[in-house]
Structure 1
Amino acid sequence: MTSSTYDAVIIGAGLVGLSVGYHLKLKSSRKRVLLIEKEDRVAAHQSGHNSGVLHSGIYYKPGSLKAKNCISGYTALLEFAKQYNIPHQICGKLIIATSEDETHALNKIFERGQMNGLKGLKKIAKEEIHNYEPHASGIAAIYVPQTGIIDYPKVAEKLLYLFTQELGGEAVFGERVINILSQGEQHIIETSSGSYTAKNIISCAGLHSDRIASLTKRASDLRIIPFRGEYYKLKPEREDLVNNLIYPVPDSKFPFLGVHFTRMIRGGIEAGPNAVLAFKREGYKFQDIGLSDIAGTLFWPGFWKIVTKYGKTGAGEIYRSLSKKAFTKALQKLIPEIQEDDLINGGSGVRAQACDREGNLIDDFNILEDGNIIHVRNAPSPAATACLSIGNFISDKIKN
């Protein structure tokens, strides 16, 4: 067993963990900072399996951590991408209402965008939609000029390079954290390969954030419920159906944005994702099963309250997962001419969604401070867009 002492240890090499390390070294160059990752690479899960969208911040409740960090993170990430030649493009998107009962929610989204400081938002009448997306259909829309696309894996790789090669941070891969022991103001982080001592710990463990948090705060009030998002891609000869990004009006009761169309920075058009309960925290296929993960979900009291609240919606998501016809039908609300044959299998991602004991799906970011330990317990979308802001925010707390 190896043992070394650090000023700070960060658990998790997704975008948020990398950003925390990067900002800590920027502000305190003499501090020893270590990043621990259980996989053999950065951005192995949520950070590398998302849709690659630069979110504008239009959806989020004004004053929330999501709103604050998305707006500031968007600006910081754009500057970062320009400075380090990260592939990105500001292309704008449409949010389309396809029925009268969605127009009220659409107006609320427009108002939120204005309250969050977005400029240039446009309300689009039915007959104007074709000016932006010739094949799309709806009764009203919002044009969001700030939305863009970016290569998040490249962002992660650059952050790792800057952290380790230019700023002197250290990183180890292929080590799983199995225990954390506290001895006064010092903490011992035991991993599958050794142990490390640190004054400060910042856990950014994504799909396992609740488990890492439980190592230092036993009575946890949150549990990660994994939801898989599955994508199709448009056949190359049908990619002309979509210019940029086309989104539906999201269900306000459910913290997901609904199936949509996204032009990817590396080429191609994705359609999706749905939101299906995953049987494994890193279960990217329907047949992926982890018994401990299933037990963690089924024995959490909040899960059964979710079933009561959203059972019908969840059943529809499962049906859409198993039926390409149903998936296509959902997409046809936005682009009526799309057909099953236009879709080919794409990738998938698993979203770490925190849920409390009362069955509430936590919508905002959740950052728990426990002395000189900080746990990022809930960081779903737009955490990728907001990663530099979140990292800056947390590093300030450690520095102070």
Structure 2
Amino acid sequence: MTRPHVVVVGGGIVGSAVARSLTLHGHRPDVTLVEKEAAPATHQTARNSGVVHAGLYYAPGSAKATLSREGVRRLRAYCRERALPYEEVGKLVVALDTVEEARLRDIEARAVANGVPGLRWLDAVALREVEPHVVGRAALHSPTTAITDFAAVAAAMLDDARDGGAEVLTGFEVSALDQRSGRVEVRGTDGRRVEADRVVVAGGLHADRLAVLAGDGPDPRIVPFRGEYHRLAPAATHLVRGLVYPVPDPRYPFLGVHLTRRVGGDVLLGPNAVLATAREGYRWRDVDPSTVLALAASPGLRRFARANLRTGVHEVVGSLSRHAFVERARRYVPAIKAADVLPSGAGVRAQAMDPDGSLVEDFRFSRVGAVLCIRNAPSPAATASLAIADLVVDRLDLG
């Protein structure tokens, strides 16, 4: 019997995990991963902060909650097995006033319901035993929240997939996904073609465009938001031991500036969230006219902008003014001085948005014939990647 052939579109950490999971499947399909860049995992995977999320915030019973908790368990074991970095530096979610303290109690209840281990409620004195330079009224401490290098993890997963027989084609930008008689022809802009029995679209910033090529609807659309980072100078990295996060404000769609220690010892400040004018718009000068026109024509984005005008202005100010950016971090670590802060890189978040302007909060999948599309996989997708991969492979119905 001929083995089925599965093509995975996208070489980020989720696509790499899917390719790996396929090579471990009992039916051992032939697997090809196609990636439009010269090397996999160069966008969201390589440009995030490296946090392995424990599952504090997510609605109990949601895909994010269940897959992140399973993902943490498996990612921890995988990193140890492959000698990859995995450091449980811990996270403090810090409340600055009584309103935030009440919201933090709600987060604590969610985290308990999600089975996050080792949680501790800390008062203003006790939180400084964990983070001596942090101030706040109260904090929730998650000691098992960890950091890793997701680009290294994705590379290891792709090596596993290759060892299992998968083929990886780079520089393959998909231009068509033509379905005929139960099979799919995957065509590249350079003329290459691959025939498949099943296709998994894990296209990140291009997820909606690729889904439409497969015959799916245009919504939810991907709206690119750039997240810009600063970092502490080496002499100031002692000011943050682990991860220091604000209490999310339910009125605003994004978390706000936080402080993140990385596996190399750097400490990041950020990210903010500003609308990008290209799907891979890592700088203000990165402008793609087709993206700008699509954003301008989007009724959902217009509704979102009207509802979040104040937040948008706030984020743009933080993008254009390093002083404003630093002052937001100083609310939690007053010892940070302007001279301690250096510019760093940026990432672009592939944020799915429904037609009514609401952000898609949970993971979302769709199926069109032989093509399974991952329509929304924001954070904690990297954390949950191994669990997401097995879910996707199960849904392919390989027999």
User: TM over 0.5: same fold?
Assistant: yes
Matched to 2:232, the amino acid is L
1:189 to 183, 186, 191: 186
Matched residue, 2:175: 178
Matched residue, 1:39: 37
SS at match of 2:225: strand
- The answer to whether the 8 Å contact 2:183/2:370 transfers is no
The alpha carbon displacement at 1:218 in A equals: 4.7
Q: How does 1:254-265 map to 2 (within 5 A)?
A: 254-265=252-263
Would the alpha carbon gap of residues 357 and 32 (structure 1) be closer, same or farther in structure 2, given more than 3 Å must change? same
Would the alpha carbon gap of residues 391 and 253 (structure 1) be closer, same or farther in structure 2, given more than 3 Å must change? farther
SS at match of 2:383: helix
SS at match of 2:133: coil
Matched residue, 1:123: 121
Matched residue, 1:246: 244
1:63 and 1:253 map into 2 onto residues whose CA distance is 23
The alpha carbon displacement at 1:6 in A equals: 6.0
Q: Are positions 1:291 and 2:282 aligned together?
A: no
Matched to 1:171, the amino acid is V
Q: Are positions 1:100 and 2:98 aligned together?
A: yes
Matched residue, 2:361: 363
- TM-score between the two structures when normalised by the length of structure 2: 0.97
1:237 to 217, 220, 235: 235
The alpha carbon displacement at 1:251 in A equals: 2.1
- The answer to whether the 8 Å contact 1:15/1:43 transfers is yes
2:276 to 275, 278, 281: 278
The alpha carbon displacement at 1:294 in A equals: 1.1
The alpha carbon displacement at 1:257 in A equals: 2.5
- The answer to whether the 8 Å contact 2:22/2:28 transfers is no
2:365 and 2:28 map into 1 onto residues whose CA distance is 26
1:101 and 1:327 map into 2 onto residues whose CA distance is 23
Q: How does 1:223-234 map to 2 (within 5 A)?
A: 223-234=221-232
Q: How does 1:16-95 map to 2 (within 5 A)?
A: 16-28=14-26, 30-95=28-93
1:157 and 1:218 map into 2 onto residues whose CA distance is 30
1:218 and 1:160 map into 2 onto residues whose CA distance is 28
| RMSD, aligned α-carbons | 1.3
- Across the two proteins, how many residue pairs are aligned to each other? 395
Matched to 2:371, the amino acid is I
Superposed CA deviations along residues 112-149 of structure 1, whole A, max 9, x for unmatched, are 00000112111111121110111101101000012011
Matched to 2:352, the amino acid is A
Matched residue, 2:315: 317
- The answer to whether the 8 Å contact 1:151/1:266 transfers is no
The alpha carbon displacement at 1:282 in A equals: 0.4
Q: Are positions 1:109 and 2:100 aligned together?
A: no
1:336 and 1:378 map into 2 onto residues whose CA distance is 37
Matched to 1:228, the amino acid is R
Mind listing any 5+ residue stretches in structure 1 that lack a counterpart? none
SS at match of 1:80: helix
The alpha carbon displacement at 1:340 in A equals: 1.4
Superposed CA deviations along residues 179-234 of structure 1, whole A, max 9, x for unmatched, are 11111201111112311111101000000000000112353221110001011010
Q: Are positions 1:336 and 2:334 aligned together?
A: yes
1:69 and 1:256 map into 2 onto residues whose CA distance is 21
1:85 and 1:30 map into 2 onto residues whose CA distance is 26
Mind listing any 5+ residue stretches in structure 2 that lack a counterpart? none
2:359 and 2:204 map into 1 onto residues whose CA distance is 15
1:129 and 1:167 map into 2 onto residues whose CA distance is 47
The alpha carbon displacement at 1:255 in A equals: 4.2
The alpha carbon displacement at 1:256 in A equals: 2.9
Aligned sequence identity (%): 38
Would the alpha carbon gap of residues 30 and 132 (structure 1) be closer, same or farther in structure 2, given more than 3 Å must change? closer
Would the alpha carbon gap of residues 22 and 253 (structure 1) be closer, same or farther in structure 2, given more than 3 Å must change? farther
Matched residue, 1:379: 377
The alpha carbon displacement at 1:375 in A equals: 0.4
1:73 and 1:236 map into 2 onto residues whose CA distance is 32
- The answer to whether the 8 Å contact 2:94/2:244 transfers is yes
- TM-score between the two structures when normalised by the length of structure 1: 0.96
The alpha carbon displacement at 1:30 in A equals: 3.6
Q: Are positions 1:7 and 2:8 aligned together?
A: no
The alpha carbon displacement at 1:40 in A equals: 0.9
